[in-house]
Structure 1
Amino acid sequence: MSTLINVIRNKESETEKGISFVKKNGIEKFVSYHDLLDKSIKILGYIQSKGISYKDELVFQLNDNEDFVHSFWAGLLGGIIPVPLSTGKNDEHKLKFFKVWNQLNNPYLICDLEHYEVLEKYAKNNDIDLSALKNRVIDIRDVYHYEEDGQIYESNQDDIAFLQFSSGSTGEPKGVMLKHYNLLANMEGIINGTRMTSEDSLITWLPMSHDMGLIGCHLIPTLLNINQVNINTNDFIRRPRMWLEKASQHKSTLLFSPNFGYRYTLKYAKRVSEDVDLSNVRIIINGAEPISADLIHEFFSKMRKYGMKDTVMCPAYGLAEACLGVSAAYPEDGNVITWCIDRRAIKIGEEVVYLQNDTSNFAATFVDVGYPLTNTSIRITDNRQTVLDEDMLGAVEIKGKNVTSGYYNMEAKTNEALSADGWLNTGDIGFIKNGRLVIVGRYKDVLFVNGQNYFANDLERVIREVAGIPLSEAEVAVGGARNFKEQTEHIVAFIKFKKSDEEFIEIEKNIKRELNYRLGVQISHVIPLKQIPKTTSGKVQRFNLVRRFEEGKFQSIIKQIDEHKKKGERNSEDIDQIENGIVSICKMYISEVEIGLEDNFFEMGISSLQLTQVASELQQKYGDHIKVADFYANQTIKELADFIKNGKKRVNEKNSSRKNMNQAGDDIAIIGISLKASGAEEQDEYWEYIRNGGGRSTGFS
Structure 2
Amino acid sequence: MVTSFLNTTLVDLLRDRALSSTAGYTFLTDGETQTEQLSYRQLDEQARSIAAHLQALRLEGERALLLYPPGLELIAAFFGCLYAGVIAVPAYPPRRNQKADRIRAIAQNAQPAVVLTVRSLQDAIDLPGRCIATDAIAPAASEWRSPDVEADAIAFLQYTSGSTSQPKGVCITHRNLLHNLSLVYQKFGHSPQSRCVIWLPPYHDMGLIGGILQPLYGNFPLTLMSPVAFLQKPDRWLQAISRDRATTSGAPNFAYERCLKISPEQRSRLDLSSWEVAFVGAEPIRVETLDRFAEAFAECGFRREAFYPCYGLAEATLFVSGGKKSDSPSILTVEKTALKQHRVAIDPAGERLVSCGQVVDQVAIVDPETLVPCAIDRIGEIWLAGTSVAQGYWNQTDPAFEAMLNGQPFLRTGDLGFLHNGELFVTGRLKDIMIIRGQNYYPQDIEATIAQSHPALQPNAGAAFVDSGDRLVVVQEVTREQWRSIDVDAAIAAVRSAVSQQHQLQVEAIALLKPNSIPKTSSGKIQRFACREGFEQGKLEAIAQWP
TM-score normalised by the chain length of structure 1: 0.72
Match of 1:281 in 2: 275
Distance 1:369 1:208, change over 3 A: same
| 1:356 aligned onto 2:348 | yes
Match of 2:366 in 1: 381
Tell me the secondary structure at the aligned position of residue 155 of structure 1: coil
Tell me the secondary structure at the aligned position of residue 387 of structure 1: coil
- One-letter amino acid of the structure 2 residue matched with residue 460 of structure 1: E
Task: Give unpaired runs (5+ residues) of structure 1.
Answer: 121-129, 358-362, 563-701
Distance 1:141 1:506, change over 3 A: same
Distance 1:310 1:137, change over 3 A: same
| 1:492 aligned onto 2:479 | no
Tell me the secondary structure at the aligned position of residue 30 of structure 1: strand
Distance 1:92 1:450, change over 3 A: farther
CA distance in 2, matches of 1:7, 1:136: 30
Match of 2:329 in 1: 336
Match of 2:496 in 1: 512
1:35 to 7, 32, 42: 42
**Kindly, what percent of the aligned residue pairs are identical?**
26
**Aligned counterparts, 1:424-439, within 5 A:** 424-439=411-426
1:188 to 182, 187, 191: 182
CA distance in 2, matches of 1:281, 1:327: 20
2:79 to 73, 91, 106: 73
CA contact (8 A) 1:217 1:256 kept: no
How far is 1:356 from its partner?
0.7
How far is 1:105 from its partner?
4.3
Tell me the secondary structure at the aligned position of residue 123 of structure 2: helix
CA contact (8 A) 1:475 1:496 kept: no
- One-letter amino acid of the structure 1 residue matched with residue 234 of structure 2: P
Distance 1:536 1:52, change over 3 A: farther
Tell me the secondary structure at the aligned position of residue 226 of structure 1: coil
How far is 1:256 from its partner?
1.9
CA distance in 2, matches of 1:506, 1:192: 50
CA distance in 1, matches of 2:428, 2:181: 25
Tell me the secondary structure at the aligned position of residue 390 of structure 1: coil
How far is 1:198 from its partner?
2.2
RMSD of equivalent CA atoms: 2.3
Higher helix share: 1
**Aligned counterparts, 1:26-425, within 5 A:** 26-49=33-56, 51-87=57-93, 89=95, 91=97, 93-120=99-126, 130=127, 133=128, 135-143=129-137, 145-146=139-140, 148-168=142-162, 171-270=165-264, 272=266, 274-332=268-326, 334-347=327-340, 350-357=342-349, 363-373=350-360, 376-382=361-367, 383-412=369-398, 421-425=408-412
Tell me the secondary structure at the aligned position of residue 272 of structure 1: helix
CA contact (8 A) 2:382 2:415 kept: yes
CA contact (8 A) 2:414 2:429 kept: yes
Distance 1:88 1:265, change over 3 A: farther
Q: Deviations over 1:434-487 (max 9, x none)?
A: 0100011111111112222110011112223333458xx42342332423xxx5
CA distance in 2, matches of 1:319, 1:14: 32
Tell me the secondary structure at the aligned position of residue 311 of structure 1: helix
CA contact (8 A) 2:402 2:409 kept: no
Match of 1:674 in 2: none
Distance 1:494 1:169, change over 3 A: closer
CA contact (8 A) 1:269 1:302 kept: no
How far is 1:113 from its partner?
4.2
Distance 1:113 1:468, change over 3 A: same
CA distance in 2, matches of 1:300, 1:519: 28
CA distance in 2, matches of 1:55, 1:367: 42
Distance 1:170 1:442, change over 3 A: closer
Match of 1:453 in 2: 440
CA contact (8 A) 2:418 2:426 kept: yes
Flag as ranges the 4+ runs of structure 1 deviating above 4 A.
144-148, 412-420, 554-559
Tell me the secondary structure at the aligned position of residue 514 of structure 1: helix
CA contact (8 A) 1:241 1:271 kept: no
How far is 1:41 from its partner?
0.7
CA contact (8 A) 1:266 1:302 kept: yes
CA contact (8 A) 2:153 2:174 kept: yes
Match of 1:8 in 2: 14
Higher strand share: 2
CA distance in 2, matches of 1:86, 1:115: 12
CA distance in 2, matches of 1:118, 1:317: 36
CA distance in 1, matches of 2:542, 2:270: 46
Tell me the secondary structure at the aligned position of residue 268 of structure 1: coil
CA distance in 2, matches of 1:431, 1:212: 23
TM-score normalised by the chain length of structure 2: 0.92
CA distance in 2, matches of 1:556, 1:202: 39
CA contact (8 A) 2:49 2:143 kept: yes
Q: Deviations over 1:556-587 (max 9, x none)?
A: 7556x66xxxxxxxxxxxxxxxxxxxxxxxxx
How far is 1:503 from its partner?
1.9
**Count, aligned residues:** 534
How far is 1:273 from its partner?
5.8
How far is 1:364 from its partner?
2.8
CA distance in 2, matches of 1:66, 1:444: 37
Tell me the secondary structure at the aligned position of residue 305 of structure 2: coil
Q: Deviations over 1:509-547 (max 9, x none)?
A: 121122113322111122111223322222112221111
Match of 1:535 in 2: 521
CA contact (8 A) 2:448 2:460 kept: no
How far is 1:551 from its partner?
1.2
- One-letter amino acid of the structure 1 residue matched with residue 396 of structure 2: M
CA contact (8 A) 1:315 1:328 kept: yes
CA contact (8 A) 2:401 2:410 kept: no
Tell me the secondary structure at the aligned position of residue 475 of structure 1: strand
Greater Rg, structure 1 or structure 2?
1
- One-letter amino acid of the structure 2 residue matched with residue 392 of structure 1: R
Match of 1:478 in 2: 463
- One-letter amino acid of the structure 2 residue matched with residue 478 of structure 1: A
